[in-house]
Structure formats: C-alpha cells, structure tokens
Amino acid sequence: MSLGPCEIFEVGPRDGLQNEARDIPVAEKIALVDCLSRAGFSRIEVASFVSPKWVPQMAGSAEVLTGITRTGGVRYAALTPNMRGYEDARAAGADEIAVFASASEGFSRANVNAGITESLERFAPILEEARHIDLPVRGYVSCVVECPYDGPVAPAAVAEVADKLFAMGCYEISLGDTIGAGTPDSIARMLLAVRDVVPAGRLAGHYHDTTGRALENIDTSLSLGLRVFDAAVGGLGGCPYAPGAVGNVATEAVARHLSALGYETGLDLDVIDEAAATAQAMRQEVADV
C-alpha cells in the first residue's frame, strides 16, 4: 500500500563536497550533478556562495551552476550568507537559494562570524529582494539538537529561529542535526516544539549520520508529519565549522528505506547508485592522497 509521496532533497554536491579535503575539480562536481539530474529529484543543492577563505571547497560554485546540464523540473539551489552571495547566486542562475541560521550562538559565531540575531538581520534584505522576483528561499536551522560549542540545544530555541525564518518568508525550514547527535526522543521533542510554530508540511529533516541513527530519526519525523528529508548521495559531507560532524545520511539508504516503508520518492535507484559510486570515488581519491 502506498503511503503517498515523500521527497528527498539532494544536498551532496553542496553539503557533501564542502567538507572534502581534496581540491575537487569543477568538472568532477558538474559530472556528479549531471548524474543526479537524471535520478528524478525536484531539488538539488549544487553550490554555495560563501567566502572562499572560509570554505575553499565551494569556490567554483558559479562555474558549477553555469556548467551543469539543466534538466526540466529540477530546481538547482545555492546557499547565500549575505547580499553578495545572493547577487552571485542570481548571476550564476540559481533557481532557489537558502539562508542558514543556527539555533545556538556558538555555532552561529563559528559558522558565519555573527550571532543569531545579526545573522537574521543579514538575511532580511535577501528575502526582500527574492520576494520581488518570486525566487524561492529555503531556511536552514543548524544545531537543532546539540551544538559542538554550546552543548544541548533547547527545542524552544530551535522553534524561535524556525519561526523567525518562516515569518521572514522562507518557504521551507530545514532542521539540521549538524553533528548527528539526535535520537528519536530528542528529535521528537524538537519537532513537537517546532510544529507549534511552522506546519509540518513546511519542515524538512536534515540529519547527519554520525551515530548511525539518522534513519530512525527520519522514522520519528515521518510519524510527526514531515515528508521532506535532506540527504547526500554516497553519505558525503560534514560541516567545516562543526568538529566531529560526519556526512549527511546517504541518499541511497533513505530512498530504499522510504520505499520499503511504502512511500513514493519518484527516484531511479539505479541512477542514484551510479551517483553514489561517483561520489564515493571522489571520496576514495581523498583517502588516497
């Protein structure tokens, strides 16, 4: 019996590759995105217009966005921390953008060199500009369970930032368990608080798989009404400003899990396995150097 649609938002080319040690050539990134474009995703995050001094791995983002072969029905997304990033993302042809905040002060300062309030103030003009041209803006909240600098994060703190991003005009709020510390219990407590301020249908789960519990956390999220999950093909990833963070939950594992439960993802598993092999080979080369 079908339980209805469930979407995987592919973040491998951005969240996955931003943390790899090797200087990955733009052509390899484009090849990965072009493969993913054949898999049936509606949204793929392919770029990040942040400071190359902070995240050197994302320096070729404009070349990636302009070099990929676009597939109809796919929105190609990019992270934008400030107006400069927004303008660069627009110039390179991003179909949607994402702003990223944190539920903890420590991570906010480490990641964007600003406290939570100041980071939201930087996003305001981005959302204003995007609204004029109907450009969809997604909002991330990091450290929804635990922060590598401040420790456990209160569900109310997550709800407060999610509420603000939603009120500012983000069409969807992606909840990041940045260091993969979440358990079904802590994820449920967090989601119950966030659901009070943002409808479950506008939330996405973004779970890193540090302790191998991401699929259980997805099950908990499904039971609380979420139907969008971020994942990275091949389980690539991490965050340079979150010590100990490992990859996002692997797209191929989530796709199989959702389909075994009876959800329809619309994804072609053969293509995803091909992309996962490509991603793993990129990582393999990292391990070899």
Which residue lies nearest ligand HMG, judged by its C-beta? 176
Per CB under 6 A, contacts with ligand HMG among 240-259 are: 241
- Token pair for 203: 């939330």
Rule CB under 5 A: is residue 15 a binding residue for Mg ion?
A: yes
Give the Cα separation of 190 and 178 in Å (integer).
14
Among 13, 176, 235, 247, binds ligand HMG (CB under 6 A): 176
- Gap between the Cα atoms of 202 and 243, Å rounded: 29
Tell me how far apart the alpha carbons of residues 22 and 83 are, in angstroms, rounded to a whole number: 29
Taking the least distance from each CB to Mg ion, the nearer of 2 and 10 is 10
Instruction: Specify whether 239 is catalytic.
Output: yes
Structural tokens at position 41? 């995703």
The verdict on 131 binding ligand HMG (CB under 6 A) reads no
Count CB atoms within 10 A of the CB of residue 195. Answer: 17
Among residues 6, 143, 147, 239, which one is catalytic?
Answer: 239
Distances in Å between the Cα of 267 and the Cα atoms of 24, 36, 136, 184, 263 are 26, 10, 23, 26, 11
Identity of the residue, 133 or 180, whose beta carbon is nearer to Mg ion in the bound complex? 180
Main-chain phi, psi angles of 249, to 5 degrees? -55, 140
Minimum CB–partner distance for residue 243 and ligand HMG (Å):
13
Cβ proximity to Mg ion, 15 vs 209, nearer residue: 15
Q: Which of 10, 15, 146, 209 binds ligand HMG (CB under 6 A)?
A: 15
CB of 93 to ligand HMG, least distance (A): 16
- Which residue ranges make up the site for Mg ion (CB under 5 A)? 15
Give the residue numbers annotated as catalytic, written as ranges. 239
